Amino acid sequence: MNAVDRLTQARAWLRQDPDAETRDELAGVITRAAGGDTAALADLDDRFGSRLAFGTAGLRGALGAGSNRMNRVLVAQAAAGFAGYLLQRASGTPTVVIGYDGRRNSRRFALDSAELFAGAGLRAILLPRLLPTPVLAFAVRHLSADAGVMVTASHNPPNDNGYKVYLGGADQGAQIVSPVDAQIAAHIQRVADAGDIGVLPRSDAYETAGEDVIDAYVAATAALAPAPFGVQEMRWVYTAMHGVGWETLSRVVKTAGYPAPRVVDEQRDPDATFRTVAFPNPEEPGAMDLAFARGRAADAEFVIANDPDADRLAVAIPDAAAEGGWRRLTGNEVGLLLGWRAAKAAQVAPAEAGQGASLACSLVSSPGLGAIAEKYGLGFHETLTGFKWISRAPGMVFGYEEALGYLVNPETVRDKDGISAAVAMLSLAAEARGRDTTIAGLLDELGAEIGHFASGQVSIRVDDLSVISRLMLSLRADAPAAFGARAVAKAEDLAQGAEGLPPSDVLRYTLADGSRVIVRPSGTEPKLKVYIDARGETADTARAAVVELESAVRELLAERR
C-alpha cells in the first residue's frame, strides 16, 4: 500500500476511535507521516499493515492505535462480531459473562464489551470487579451462560492485553477451538469492513454479577482439598506477581483450612506496570527472586506463585545446590505430582472418577503422565498444546501442560486454574509433611514408582517472526539426523496431523535412547520453543541427558538461523 492510501486508512481509523489517548497517539504519527517522516510511515505500516488475528486464543497484542494493536476500536469490532456469532447460533437470547484483570485498559475493554453485547440484544453479565481468569471460566458454567469473555493478556509483557473467549453449553465453559475461531473471525471482519464502530448499538442495560458468584467459586475450590488436621505450622510463601490472584486465593486457603502464607507484599496487589519484575511470568529468570528472598527470611517449606491472571501456578522448593537456595520446579514436575495425586484419588474412589477416567496433557508435556496413567489403570490422552484441547479429553480427571497450567477440578473449571492447582499442591505438601517428608521427597517417591523423567526447554525469542518460519522450513527440508551424539530414530512432521491429532505446526523427534525433542512456534509470544524430555534410571542421569540435549539443540538452531 502506498503512503497516500496508508494515510487515508489511518485517518479513517482515527475518526472512529473513541479513546482520547490512542487518538492523540495516532494523530501525532499521521502528522509526521504526512510530512514525509519515513520512520512515521514505517510506524503506520506496522500498525495497519496487518490485523491482530482472532484465533483459538482470541486476541492478544500490544496496546496502541491501529488494527495490529489492542485498543477500543479492535475490542468493539471483536465484541460486535462475537455477538453476531452468538445470535446466529442461538435459539433464544444468548447470555455472555465478561471478566477482566488488572492490566491497562482491561476494565474499559470489558465495559465496552458489556455495552455492545447488551446493545446487540444479548444478556450481558459483567463480573463485579477485576478477578482471576478461572473465576470467569467458572462463572460461564455456574450462570449457565452461552459464552464468556475474559480481558487479559495473562503473563505477557506489561504493555499487552488480550481478549479470551469461552463457550458454555456442550462446551462446558471451555475455550473455543477450530472451526469456531474462524466463524467468529468472519463475523468480526464484517464489522471491521463496515468501517465505523460509532454506529454500533450500545446499551447500559447489562447486569453486574453479585458476590454470590465469587462465593460459589471459593466454596467449590476449597472443597477440592480440605486441609488435614495438624497443618497449621506449615510455612509457605505466596506471590501474586502483581496480578489479581491474592484476594481470591486467600479466601480459598482460609476456607479450606490451610495456614495463611507469608506474602510477597511488593507483588500482592494488582499493578499494571509490574514494577518489580522485568517480565511478569513465573517462568522467566528473576521473576520469583522476591518470593525466594521472602522464603529464605521465613524459613519456608515451599513457595507458590500465580501469574498475573492466576490461571497458572509455579512452585519452588529449598535446594542448597541452586542459586539463592531455591529451585523452581518445572511445569512437568508439578504436573506429574498433581497427576499422581489425581490417579491415586481415582483408584481410591473409582465411582467418583467415573467410567473411562483418564489423565491428559499436551503433546509437549512429559511422557511421565502416560506412565502414571498406565500404572494406575487410567486412560491417557495426548492433545495439541493448549487447554482448549486438554479440557476436551474424554473422561479427564486431571490435565496439564508444561507451561505451568493445571486443570485439577474439571467439574468446576474447564480450563487451567492456578488457584485450584495451588490448593491441590497445598494438600500434597500437607500429606508429605504428615509423613515427615517434603515435596522433594514426593518427587523421589514418584520417580521410584514410574521412573525418573526430566525435561528442559530452549526458547528463541525473535523480533522478526520470519526467523521462526525460516527455522521451521529448514528443519522440515533437512531433518536433523542427530542431536549431538544422540541419533534420531524417528522424525515426524505433525503439519498433516498424527495419531488422531489435528494438523499442527509441530516437529517431533524420537531419539534412539528414548529421549524426545519437539519443536514448535509459540502460539502467544514471538518465540520458537523446543521441548526436551528424557528418562533415566536415576534423576541425575535423566537431568544430565536433558542438559546435553539442550546444548545440542542450541548449537543446531544457531547453525540453521
Q: What residues form DSSP beta bridges with 148?
A: 97, 166
For CA atoms 121, 128, 162, 365, the dihedral sign is negative
Instruction: Strands of 367-435 (E only): list them.
Output: 379-383, 396-401, 405-407
Q: What's the rounded Cα separation, in Å, for the pair 514 and 239?
A: 37
Q: What's the rounded Cα separation, in Å, for the pair 67 and 64?
A: 9
Q: What distance, in Å, lies between the first and last C-alpha atoms of the chain?
A: 30
Select from 268, 304, 330 the least CA-distant residue to 425: 304
| Cis bond before residue 179 (omega within 30° of 0) | yes
Q: What's the rounded Cα separation, in Å, for the pair 423 and 536?
A: 30
Q: What's the rounded Cα separation, in Å, for the pair 130 and 281?
A: 19
Radius of gyration (Cα) for the chain, nearest Å? 24
Q: What's the rounded Cα separation, in Å, for the pair 378 and 401?
A: 18
- 108: Cα within 13 Å, side-chain hemisphere: 15
Pairing of strands 147-151, 95-100: parallel
Distance of CA 313 to CAs 117, 335, 423, Å?
32, 10, 10
Q: What's the rounded Cα separation, in Å, for the pair 431 and 316?
A: 17
Active-site residue, 459 included = no
Select from 532, 534, 535, 538 the least CA-distant residue to 552: 532
Q: Say which residues have a Cβ less than 8 Å from residue 260's Cβ, sequence separation at least 6.
A: 250, 253, 254
User: Residue by residue, what is the 3-state secondary structure of 161-210?
Assistant: EEEEEEECHHHCCEECCCCHHHHHHHHHHHHHHHCCHHHCCCCCCCEECC
**The C-alpha cell that represents 354 in the structure block:** 467415573
Kindly name the residue from 67, 154, 427, 455 that is annotated as catalytic: 154
Q: What's the rounded Cα separation, in Å, for the pair 537 and 517?
A: 19
Residue appearing with cell numbers 473449571: 413
**The C-alpha cell that represents 524 in the structure block:** 502467544
Number of CB atoms found within 10 A of residue 538's CB: 12
Q: What's the rounded Cα separation, in Å, for the pair 223 and 259?
A: 16
Sequential DSSP letters for 296-353: HHHT-SEEEEE-TTS--EEEEEE-TTSGGGEEEPPHHHHHHHHHHHHHHHHHH-HHHH
Which residues form the catalytic set? Answer: 154
